[in-house]
Structure formats: structure tokens, C-alpha cells
Amino acid sequence: MKNTPHKPKTGDLLKQATIADLVVMWQEREGAMSPYYPVIWERVKTGETVVEFGLRRGGSTAAFLHAGAIVVSYDLDLPDPRIELYRHLSKLAAGRWAMVYADTRVIPIPPCDWLLVDSEHTYDQVKAELRPDVVACVRKGIMFHDTIVHGVDGRKSQGGGGIWPAIEEFLAEPGCPFHLDYHATEGVGFTVLMR
């Protein structure tokens, strides 16, 4: 019988992947946030804590874990933890990652160094997420994804205006302790506010 070369299955490759491999995978698949990963890595340091609003495929999660951060991801639509990708990422994170089922419009968050706002891309949502009790818990900075593509108009399926006016209003609040540190001018958009 002719020997056919063994072609590794995707699942087998995944089992051997490191966090860095997963990050490369997202970059190769041109995940929407991947062009901005360097912006994350320039700022987030090993051992810092991140609260992530919006988990979905885990692209941002892997980027933060790659930076050496400790991450808590909140989502209303958590993936099945038995799915290989999440099981493997969780194993690689070795206690540095937790997924929490919660509505980011109302959930209190623990003290953290960074907050990523990447859930529903609408004005109302971001207004609700930038509540004083949430903002007070963030020691270093707040990151936002999709600030260009949903800056003016919110995601169509979600209705409502875009997220940029909510960010501008937050910065314009009297005594706001955050300032604009980074704002992408290309791609879908990524913005960082720092204390």
C-alpha cells in the first residue's frame, strides 16, 4: 500500500500552538484588531491586569495574554469552553485568564490597569460602559476598538449612533483624569486614553 504523508489536522496544530502562535494566526487571518496589537504591546506590561468588554473570538484576549497580562473577559455570549481554541488558550494562560458572563452596561468591575471597550459599537453602549464606578477602577488606560468604522455610525444591526461622540463627551467631562494618548487614522480604528 502506498504511504500517504501524514497531514496534521487543524486540532493537532492548535494543541501545539503557543500564545505567540495564536497571535500570529490572528495576524495572518487579518483579524480586525491585529494591526493594532503593537499599540497594545507598547503599553501593556507583564503582570498588569486587563478587563476586557467583549470576548467573541478571543483575538484581543490573546494579544493581552501575549503581553504577559492577567485578563478578565466579560461577554453576554460566552463561547463554549469545550471548544478547542478556548480550552487551549485557557491552558496556555495558566490561570491568567477568566471568562465572565455579564452585561458590561451594568457589571461592576475589579480594579485593573487597563480596560478594553470592544462590545456593542454604539453611542448608548459606550456611554453606559464608561460609568463613573467603572472608570474609577482603571489605573492606567482605556482602549477602544472600531473607533473609525463605528465612530460616527454604530454597527447597523445594533442601531444607534457611533462610539466616538461618547468618547469625546467622556474626555470633555470637567476633571476627566484621562487624555487622548493614541488614535488610529487608518483601518477600523483603535484609540487609547491614558491617565
What does R_g of the chain's alpha carbons equal in angstroms? Answer: 18
* 8 A C-beta contact, residue 81 and residue 99: yes
The verdict on 131 binding ligand SAM (CB under 6 A) reads no
The verdict on 65 binding ligand SAM (CB under 6 A) reads no
Which residue from 57, 127, 131, 183 is in contact with ligand SAM, where contact means CB under 6 A? 57
In the chain, which ranges are continuous DSSP H helix? Answer: 10-16, 19-28, 37-43, 59-66, 84-93, 123-129, 132-135, 164-172
The verdict on 74 binding ligand SAM (CB under 6 A) reads yes
- Residues 26-55, interacting with ligand SAM (CB under 6 A): 33, 54-55
> Could you tell me the smallest distance in angstroms from the CB atom of residue 61 to ligand SAM?
7
Which residue from 76, 85, 137, 188 is in contact with ligand SAM, where contact means CB under 6 A? 76
Of 12-20, 56-64, 89-97, 167-175, the segment contacting ligand SAM by CB under 6 A is: 56-64
CA distance 74 to 97: 11
The verdict on 114 binding ligand SAM (CB under 6 A) reads no
Extract the C-alpha cell encoding 27: 495576524
The verdict on 122 binding ligand SAM (CB under 6 A) reads no
Q: Which residue has the cell 486540532?
A: 11
The verdict on 151 binding ligand SAM (CB under 6 A) reads no
The verdict on 80 binding ligand SAM (CB under 6 A) reads no
Residue 22 or 33: which CB sits closer to ligand SAM?
33
Instruction: Tell how strand 49-53 and strand 190-194 pair up.
Output: unpaired
The verdict on 191 binding ligand SAM (CB under 6 A) reads no
Question: How does DSSP classify residue 34?
Answer: G
Distances (CA, A) of 62 to 75, 83, 87, 163: 16, 15, 13, 24
Residue 58 or 141: which CB sits closer to ligand SAM?
58
Which residue from 40, 59, 90, 148 is in contact with ligand SAM, where contact means CB under 6 A? 59
Q: Vertex 13, ends 50 and 81: CA angle to 5°? A: 45
User: What is the contact surface with ligand SAM in residues (CB under 6 A)?
Assistant: 33, 54-60, 74-77, 103-105, 118-120
